Amino acid sequence: MIQTKDIIELTDTYGANNYHPLPIVISKAEGVWVEDPEGNRYMDLLSAYSAVNQGHRHPKIINALIDQANRVTLTSRAFHSDQLGPWYEKVAKLTNKEMVLPMNTGAEAVETAIKTVRRWAYDVKKVEANRAEIIVCEDNFHGRTMGSVSMSSNEEYKRGFGPMLPGIVVIPYGDLEALKAAITPNTAAFILEPIQGEAGINIPPAGYLKEAFEV
């Protein structure tokens, strides 16, 4: 079996240098435990940035994947899926929303949110064309797409990628008065993380999220 050192060497040689992973290769996983090719075990406290909070290879999820793969591998949105409608209903009721629009990743969700709130600002709020503003917080991390990078306050993340998306207003995290001061007739939305993770575990003051929502 190919060893950790060789796998990392292949990755560094042939993979674009856009990430700095830990020098650990995961070849097996179950529950909270992962294992490298040499058989060393590690407790996974990262959970793929929450994507596997349910644990690796959860039997209920594995069985659902196998069942679906045995029936239909994939349908594009050009067709209806027998699973999508019922899933929409379940998620809408769970979140108490009228409708839902699922995305694969957090960055996709943020990009879709940007498009949604801008369209709302122009069509409903009647903001002048191309003047909509989105308020974000310092030290945020919403992904690596252009829209997400444009919202970052980390200049290194933006280096070499300009020009950035216009209409982004950055305020301190957890500062309600700064939020109030930043809102203008052109404001389309306030996008933030309930708990920041990229800049450390930043938790807003008690009641901040509720008060920000009410603002």
Query: What residue ranges of the chain are covered by domains with CATH 3.90.1150.10?
Result: 1-71
pLDDT at 49 over 90: no
Instruction: Give pLDDT tens digits for 160-203.
Output: 999 999 999 999 999 999 999 999 999 999 999 999 988 889 99
The whole-number average pLDDT for the span 79-96 is 96
Pairing outcome for strands 187-190 and 133-137: parallel
Per-residue model confidence (pLDDT) at position 202: 94
CATH topology of domain 106-214: Aspartate Aminotransferase; domain 2 (3.40.640)
Alpha-carbon span 32 to 26, nearest angstrom: 12
Question: Which part of the chain is CATH 3.40.640.10?
Answer: 106-214
Contacts of 91 (CB under 8 A, 6+ apart): 97, 100, 102
Lowest mean pLDDT among 16-20, 60-64, 99-103, 157-161: 16-20
Q: pTM, whole model, 2 decimals?
A: 0.87
pLDDT digits (tens, 9 = 90+) for 91-134: 999 999 999 999 999 999 999 999 999 999 999 999 999 999 99
Q: What is the 3-state secondary structure (H, E, C) of 17-84?
A: CCCCCCCCCCCEEEECEEECCCCCEEECCCHHHHCCCCCECCHHHHHHHHHHHHHCCCCCCCCCCCCH
Per the CATH hierarchy, to which homologous superfamily does domain 1-71 belong?
Aspartate Aminotransferase, domain 1 (3.90.1150.10)
